[in-house]
A and B are shown apart, each in its own frame.
Chain A
Amino acid sequence: MPFSLHFSPTPLITGPSPLSKPFFLLPYYHTLHAPKSPLCSSMEHALTHQGKQEAFDRRPEDSQTLPLGLRRDAMPSHVAVIMDGNRRWARLRDLPVRSGYEAGVESLRKIVEICCKWGIKVLSVFAFSSDNWFRPKVEVEFLMSLFERGMQEDTGIFFRENIRISVIGDLTKLPKALQELMVNLEEATKNNTRFQLIVAVSYSGHYDVVQACQRLALKAKCGLIEPSDINVSLMEQELETNCTEFPHPDLLIRTSGEFRISNFMLWQLAYTELFFAQSLWPDFGEAEFLKALLAFQQRQRRYGV
C-alpha cells in the first residue's frame, strides 16, 4: 500500500498509530534527502511526487473524535514542550547520543501529528537552548545537521498538512545554511493556517526579554516611543512569540522528571499550567500526552486573581 503520512481519523488511546511510520520509510524520502539542496527545489520534488491532490486533502478537526475523557472545548490552544531526556535514553540503551536525538525527532513528529488531530493550534518545542552551545562541539554540530535534515525532509509534509513553521531564538549563531533554510521555511509556510510549530533554537527566556528590551530602547532612541510608555503590551509586541496568535502556552510539558523551566519562555509562562512527565522524551507518546491533557483539563485556572 502506498505510504502517506495521513493523520488517522481513529485515534488510539495507547501505543502509536499503526498508520504512522518513521519518516525514513516514506517513498519520497530519497528525493528529499538531498543535503543542502535549496528549499525551493525540494519543495517542488515533494509536491510533484506526492501528488498535488494530497495537498488539498484536509480533514476538519471537528469530524475527528477525541480519546475518551478529553473535551474539545477545553483543549489548550498552545502547548509548549521541553523535550528532555534524549541523551539519557540513548545511554540507557548503550547507544550513541545521536541515536537519542534521532529518536527524539521521531517522538516530535508523532506529537505534531497528534496535535493536528486533536485540534491544538500551536506547539512550541525547546529544541536548543542558549546554554546548549556549551555542549561538546561534535554534539552541537550533529544537532545542527539534524535540524537541517529534519526541516528539509519534512518540508513536503508542512505544505501537505498546512503547517506553519516559526523559529525563535538567536539564529545568528547557527550555520549560515541552516539560518537560510529556517528563514525561507518560515516565509514559505507563513500563510499555513491549520497548525503552527514554533521551534526554539538557540533560545532562552532571558534572551527573549533582553532582545525585546533592546528593540524598545532603539525605538525610544528614534522617538517612536518614550521609555515611560513601555508596558506589558509593548513588551509582547517585541518578544519573539509575536509570531503567533497565541503567544502564551496554556500547558507546558517537561519530560524526564526534571522539575524546572530551564530558561524556556519565562515571560510567556506566567499563567501556564505545568506538567512534569517522568518518561524520557523519545518514550513520550500518545498515552503520556493524553495524560498531560487530561490533567490540564481538570485544573482550575484563575490567572492570578
Chain B
Amino acid sequence: MVTSVPNKVGNYSSTGNGVHKLFFDDITNFLRRCLFRVLSVGPIPTHLAFIMDGNRRYAKKQNLKEGEGHKAGYLALMSLLRYCYELGIKYVTIYAFSIENFKRRPDEVQSLMDLMLEKMEALLMEESIVNQYGIRVCFIGNLRLLSEPVRVAAEKVMKVTSNNSKAMLLVCVAYTASNEIVHAVEGSCKEKEKEFRLCNLNNNVMDDVKEGEKVNGMVVHDIQDFYEDTSVESQGLKQGKGCNGTPYHACESFESNWDQVLTSKASKSGEVSEGFRNLRQEFPVIKLVDIEKHMYMAVAPDPDMLIRSSGESRLSNFLLWQTSNCQLYSPAALWPEIGLSQLVWAILKFQQSHSYLEKKMKQL
C-alpha cells in the first residue's frame, strides 16, 4: 500500500515513486543531520540575518513572470529556515520589504503584499514551520505603512506565536534602518524630556514626595510607568531586553565625557553660552542604551552574520545599527538559488573568523 506523503512544498505524490522519494528524502535528511552534527563541533551563530536579493533577476533568468521569482524566493526561504533551526540557530532575521520598495511599480508592490498576506496566513496553520520548531514571529518595521489587512494579519501572527520560545523569526517589513534609528532617537528624546520634566516637577513642587503620593493627580509610580516605551507599535509585544551583544565597556568608551563632547561641539558651531552650558548640565544625558531600547530590533541580540544573496555587497539600509561588528557574506547565488551549500559555507566562514575575533577581543 502506498501512502501519500507531503514533500517540502506540500504537494503529494501518490504513485509507487512516492516510496522511492520517501526513501531518498530520509537519506538526505540523515546525511544533512550528520553534517550539522559535524558543524556543531565548532561555534554556531546565534543570529543570522538575510537580505533576500535576486528574486526578480531569477525570474528573468528562468523566463518566468516577475511574481514567480518572489514565490520561488519564498520556497527557498522556508528551506533555509528549516536548516537554520535544525542547526540550532536561535534567531533569524529577514529583509522582506524595505520602505524604499514602496517606490516600485504599484502592481509589483501589490503582488508582494498579496504574497505576504498569503504566507502570513499559512504560518498560522497547524503544520506550519512555526509550530514545528516553536518559533516566535516578530514583524519589525513601521507597520503603519502597511495596508490594514496585512498589518492585522501580522499582528495576529505575532500574538498567536508570542508564547513560542525555542526560536525567533524576525521579519523586517516596511523597514529601513534609518527609519528605525529616527524612531529610536525620537523615543529617547521624548523619554528624556519627560524625565527632565518630572525631575523639575519634583524639585520645584514636592521636596518630600513619597511613593504612592499623588503628583498632579497621578500616583508617583504611575508616572514612572508612563515613561515606559509605548511607541514600539511594530512589535505589539512586551519588549524584550535590549541585549545588543556589544560589551558594555566598549559602549562606555565614548560616553564618559558627554559634557566635554557637547561643549566642544557647541564651541565649533558657535552655540557657546552660559545658558547652554547650564542647560546641558541639567539635562539628563542620552546614552547608547537609551537609544537601543527603543530600536525595533531590541527583542533580539545583534546578528552574528549578515548574508546577502546575489553577490551584491551593500547593506541597503538594513540593520545598520545592529551590524556594526557583524561579519558580512555575499554569495553569488540569487535568492531562490540559495540552499544548504551556501548556508554551510557561511557557517564555516563564521567559525573561521570567530576564533580570530575572540583572539582580538582578548587582546582588547
Distance between Cα atoms of A133 and B285 in the complex (Å): 22
CB pair B287–A210 under 8 Å, yes or no, is: yes
Task: List, sorted by A's number, 27 A–B pairs whose CB atoms are closer than 8 Å.
Answer: A172-B260, A172-B261, A173-B254, A204-B254, A206-B246, A206-B288, A210-B255, A210-B286, A210-B287, A210-B288, A211-B261, A213-B291, A217-B286, A221-B193, A230-B182, A231-B182, A232-B178, A235-B178, A235-B181, A262-B324, A262-B325, A266-B177, A267-B320, A274-B314, A274-B315, A274-B328, A276-B328
B262 touches A214 (CB 8 A): yes
Which B232-258 residues have a C-beta within 8 angstroms of A? 246, 249-251, 253-255, 257-258
A260 within 8 A of B: yes
A263: chain B residues within 8 A (beta carbon): 324-325
* Cα A221 to Cα B278 with chains together (Å): 12
Chain B: interface size category: 35 or more
Return chain B residues, CB-CB under 8 Å to A183: 268
The chain B residue with its CB closest to the CB of A220 is B189
Q: Do A170 and B257 have beta carbons less than 8 Å apart?
A: yes
**Bound-complex Cα distance A291 to B103 (A):** 33
Q: Digit string of B318-360 for contact with A (CB within 8 Å is 1, else 0)?
A: 0011011111110000000000000000000100010000000
Which residue of A has the minimal Cβ distance to B250? A131
A130 at the interface (CB under 8 A from B): yes
Instruction: Name the A residues within 8 Å of B268 (CB-CB).
Output: 183
Q: Are B325 and A214 in contact (CB under 8 A)?
A: no
Instruction: Verify if B163 is at the interface (C-beta below 8 Å from A).
Output: no
Asked if residues A133 and B317 are in contact (CB atoms below 8 Å), the reply is: no
Q: Which residues of B contact A275 (CB under 8 A)?
A: 313
Give the dominant DSSP class at B's interface: helix
- Given the complex, which residues of B lie within 8 Å of A266, measured CB to CB? 177, 320-321, 323-324
B254 to chain A: which residues have CB within 8 Å?
130, 170, 173, 202, 204, 206-207, 210
Per-residue interface assignment for chain B, residues 60 to 91, with 1 indicating a CB less than 8 Å from any chain A CB and 0 otherwise: 00000000000000000000000000000000
Who on chain B is nearest to A295 by CB?
B313
The interface residues of chain B lying within 8 Å CB-to-CB of A262 are: 324-325
**CB 8 Å contact bits of B184-218 with A (1 = contact, 0 = none):** 01101110110010000000000000000000000
Check: B37 CB closer than 8 A to any chain A CB: no
Q: Does A212 contact B (CB under 8 A)?
A: yes
A135 proximal to B (CB < 8 A): yes
State how many angstroms separate the Cβ of B361 from the closest Cβ of chain A: 10
Q: Once bound together, how far apart are the Cα atoms of A276 and B314, in whole Å?
A: 11
User: Would you call B320 and A259 a contact (CB within 8 A)?
Assistant: no
CB distance from B51 to the nearest CB of A (A): 11
Which of B279, B285, B320 has the most CB atoms of chain A within a 10 A radius of its CB?
B320
Smallest CB gap from A242: residue in B: B269
A178 in the interface, Cβ–Cβ < 8 Å?
Answer: no
Binds B, one of A11-19, A53-61, A105-113, A297-305: A297-305
Residue from the list B185, B257, B315 in contact with A216, Cβ < 8 A: B185
Task: Among A173, A217, A304, point to the contact of B189 (Cβ < 8 A).
Answer: A217
Residue from B103, B258, B314 within 8 A of A272 (CB atoms): B314
Partner of B316 from A227, A228, A230, A304 at Cβ < 8 Å: A304
